[in-house]
Structure 1
Amino acid sequence: MKKIKTIDDFNFENQTALIRVDFNVPVNKFFEITDDTRIRYSIPTIKKIFSDKGKIVLISHFKRPKGIFRKEHSIKFLSDHLSKKLKISVNFCEVCVGKTVIEKVNALKPGEILLLENLRFYKEEEKEDHNFAYELSKLGNIYVNDAFGVVHRKHASITILPKFFKQKKCIGFLMKKEIQYLNQFLHGKGKKPITVLLGGAKISSKIEIIENFIKFADSILIGGGMSYPIVKIKGGRVGDSMIEKNQKFEKILKKILYKYQNIIHLPDDVIVADSFKNEANTKIVSIYSIPDGWMGLDIGPSSIKNFCKIIKKSGSIFWNGPVGVFEFSNFSLGTKSMAKAIANATEKGAFSLVGGGDSLASLKMGNYEKKISYLSTGGGSMLYYLNNKTLPGIEAIIS
């Protein structure tokens, strides 16, 4: 890959930085932010530009309004939160393109910042519309992409907008850190032993990650719905547990299991239920002998002990995906135990990287999120990158 320009390659004095951020943060029914990680991680980029005496225009999406203005999808509420974080007044503009926003941008002084309305109020954003991107390009001198969470999307502000800036485009510090830490795992450069913990429902989205990591990881722990297709391939009985059927990845899995069976660790016991609900009847059984009419919804006590033992000895840990249906309190112990084990290992010197909404949510359940080395701000984009796929947003910066 060509060298990616970062904001360290530019002096922003008297320049207007058009920064694509990802402020699609989770909120409660009162529009209170429940996790501002993406905002906090964008602050160093903003502060660097201010230290250069530059001006800033922020553009972001929020939720999925699908080109329709909806009050509940407005990002105006973010200006107050940003003002508190930056300790300066953050101005807001109700539109993203046109005469009004151009006038507001032209009125900016060094050290001032303007947040624009939700990009996805414009249907052109998700359609990679060139005219929309051109209108956005009038709002800055230097384009900065600091929105790792959406760099896998082919949207106007991600892939088309940078083209209008020629060589005056770069990534921010958030993006730089994401790439740096993900590369550390992708190329096996982390402190040994390297442990990879994968969970969640679908194995198809992570089969290439397993293929990439298996070459250098010391242990790959697999739990959640991902584990049952593997158990079935190995001849086990999985009852009514969730099985994602795909002949292509089944062939790949068979090859991996044959060659690297000592590296891949599955749960040996699971908590099964007779229905998919929190109040279901439960029992603990071998993962290879789940009775018909029962489904695995969490890893069992023996599996928790084995997984935690491996995590405790790790030098580097990557985690994506819960090992059970953690939304149900009766099936959340496995995932909570993983979060605690990773936090404890980190405190004792391991490097940990956790990504994916469910994994981050489980960390917050136990207040462990601040004990992790790095929380990835991307879910789909992180998996995309670790699958060795070119991210459109990064390609647009280096082309």
Structure 2
Amino acid sequence: MAYRSLDDMDLAGKRVLVRVDLNVPMEDGRVTDTTRIERILPTIRDIAAANGKVILLAHFGRPKGERVASMSLKPVVRPLSELLGLAVDFAEDCIGAEAAAAVDKMVPGGILLLENTRYHKGEEKNDPDFAKALAANGDIYVNDAFSAAHRAHASTEGLAHLLPSCAGRTMQAELDALGAALAAPKRPVLAVVGGAKVSSKIDLLENLVAKVDMLVIGGGMANTFLAAKGTDVGKSLCEHDLADTARRIMEKAAREGCEIVLPADAVVAREFKAGAENETVALDAIPADAMILDVGAKSIETVKAKIDIAATLVWNGPLGAFEIAPFDAATVAAAAHAAARTREGKLLSVAGGGDTVAALNHARAAQDFSYVSTAGGAFLEWLEGKTLPGVAALEAEA
């Protein structure tokens, strides 16, 4: 898609409203994970270096249009300032006299964080008057929150139509990575999709089988597909009522020329706990009183072989119950193999959504993937082929 970046904007002396994702985990008023803060640092630094006035807009939690003290963005100021190595000011509101006064005091290169946009009901309603109130404090709008781009809110979509707009560095990296993975990919394209339930990923699977050459299905989802093909999966997590849906997806894949790769063997146990007694069995030998918690060695080798012939990999979700050893073996082995191929320059690997980041971090593979998205819902909706309002608004302005 065509969109403007920071490189296309004259930022010097301008009030730059930057929508970022600061919906970070907190405990007792302290930020416990700064990953999302770290992701926005390049955008802030580039605007400040160009002598723009950096005015940050963000939401935190779901205050539903009320001022909820525990959902204030004020605790973010200190870690943001420390990571930037620059002073960050704070305003107790994102619109009105208080916000305007804080903006008026700014000098070129200054950084200001405005209070939670969701303290106002107009934010989630994408109210035009609220969007105009936000726009009153800016000359340029920058969206650097891909993770919120699937919401048509005032600060994610409405503002883009009121001010000259562009993508920030994080948004730019995300769009470039996603475009390279599915919009205009090097083939063959392999998708790895795991997770617990088919019901949560029907749209995703139906979109992917029309776009990729190979689709590995793992996790609890695979059990539903296996059952639809006649395999007795014992007491495994399985959505038996979605057998027809699974068969429909497999039929569409066949029409589209997409190879669906299902487990060839399974690691089973009678209980789901760390170190539980387990065994690897063939699909026709799954005990009636056992449940599938991972795929076996034969399946792992098949997945690695598919990774070897792929030029592009899109990964969403684990292959097994990775949270508990030894049922993390397949996810770790496949992720490590994809990371190695990426390091060798033989694979473009893009991952994100749900438990994916946690699974890749567990496998110590995330740092070697070409791009790992922390966007969650927005990443999944993009994989499903849906239009993201926050992205579409930037495209319309390009």
What is the TM-score with the length of structure 2 in the denominator?
A: 0.89
- For the 8 Å contact 1:4–1:398, the answer to whether it is kept is yes
Q: How far does residue 278 in structure 1 lie from its aligned partner after superposition?
A: 4.1
Quote the residue 1:382 is aligned against: 379
Quote the residue 2:153 is aligned against: 155
| SS at 1:327 equivalent | coil
Quote the residue 1:221 is aligned against: 216
Deviations 1:160-207, CA, capped at 9 Å, x for gaps: 233332xx12222221221222122223522x4432211112334444
| SS at 1:329 equivalent | coil
Give the Cα–Cα distance (whole angstroms) in 1 for the partners of residues 386 and 253 of structure 2.
24
Gaps of 5+ in 1: none
Give the Cα–Cα distance (whole angstroms) in 1 for the partners of residues 260 and 283 of structure 2.
15
Letter aligned with residue 354 of structure 1: A
- For the 8 Å contact 2:134–2:159, the answer to whether it is kept is yes
Letter aligned with residue 242 of structure 1: L
Quote the residue 1:143 is aligned against: 141
Gaps of 5+ in 2: none
- For the 8 Å contact 1:230–1:253, the answer to whether it is kept is no
CA RMSD, 1 decimal: 2.6
Show the 5 A alignment for 1:110-125: 110-125=108-123
Quote the residue 1:347 is aligned against: 343
Q: How far does residue 289 in structure 1 lie from its aligned partner after superposition?
A: 4.6
Q: How far does residue 42 in structure 1 lie from its aligned partner after superposition?
A: 2.1
| SS at 1:231 equivalent | helix
Identity %: 38
1:364 aligns with 2:369: no
Deviations 1:112-170, CA, capped at 9 Å, x for gaps: 010122223334322333333222222211111110001111222122233332xx122
- For the 8 Å contact 1:186–1:213, the answer to whether it is kept is no
1:238 aligns with 2:233: yes
Change (3 A) 1:248 1:93: farther
Letter aligned with residue 140 of structure 2: I
Quote the residue 2:73 is aligned against: 75
Q: How far does residue 311 in structure 1 lie from its aligned partner after superposition?
A: 2.2
Deviations 1:66-91, CA, capped at 9 Å, x for gaps: 44444443322322222233221111
- For the 8 Å contact 1:127–1:155, the answer to whether it is kept is yes
Q: How far does residue 300 in structure 1 lie from its aligned partner after superposition?
A: 2.0
Quote the residue 1:266 is aligned against: 262
Change (3 A) 1:271 1:373: same
Change (3 A) 1:262 1:97: closer
| SS at 2:162 equivalent | helix
Letter aligned with residue 120 of structure 1: R
What is the TM-score with the length of structure 1 in the denominator?
A: 0.89
Quote the residue 2:392 is aligned against: 395
Quote the residue 1:284 is aligned against: 280
- For the 8 Å contact 2:24–2:31, the answer to whether it is kept is no
- For the 8 Å contact 2:266–2:281, the answer to whether it is kept is yes
Give the Cα–Cα distance (whole angstroms) in 2 for the partners of residues 271 and 233 of structure 1.
19
- For the 8 Å contact 1:20–1:145, the answer to whether it is kept is yes
Q: How far does residue 107 in structure 1 lie from its aligned partner after superposition?
A: 0.8
Give the Cα–Cα distance (whole angstroms) in 2 for the partners of residues 29 and 332 of structure 1.
32
Deviations 1:209-247, CA, capped at 9 Å, x for gaps: 444444563432110022112112211112232233447
Q: How far does residue 270 in structure 1 lie from its aligned partner after superposition?
A: 1.8
Change (3 A) 1:318 1:29: farther
Quote the residue 1:11 is aligned against: 10
Change (3 A) 1:370 1:356: same
Quote the residue 2:291 is aligned against: 295
Give the Cα–Cα distance (whole angstroms) in 2 for the partners of residues 35 and 309 of structure 1.
36
Which of 198, 203, 213 lines up with 2:193 in the alignment? Answer: 198
- For the 8 Å contact 1:231–1:288, the answer to whether it is kept is no
Letter aligned with residue 381 of structure 1: A
Greater mean deviation of Cα atoms: 180-189 or 110-119: 180-189
Give the Cα–Cα distance (whole angstroms) in 1 for the partners of residues 94 and 184 of structure 2.
42
Give the Cα–Cα distance (whole angstroms) in 2 for the partners of residues 52 and 291 of structure 1.
65
Give the Cα–Cα distance (whole angstroms) in 1 for the partners of residues 120 and 287 of structure 2.
51
Give the Cα–Cα distance (whole angstroms) in 2 for the partners of residues 295 and 120 of structure 1.
43
Size of the alignment, in residue pairs? 394
Which of 91, 94, 106 lines up with 2:92 in the alignment? Answer: 94
Give the Cα–Cα distance (whole angstroms) in 2 for the partners of residues 326 and 123 of structure 1.
39
Quote the residue 1:181 is aligned against: 177
1:56 aligns with 2:54: yes
Letter aligned with residue 253 of structure 1: I
- For the 8 Å contact 2:198–2:221, the answer to whether it is kept is yes
Give the Cα–Cα distance (whole angstroms) in 2 for the partners of residues 368 and 25 of structure 1.
23
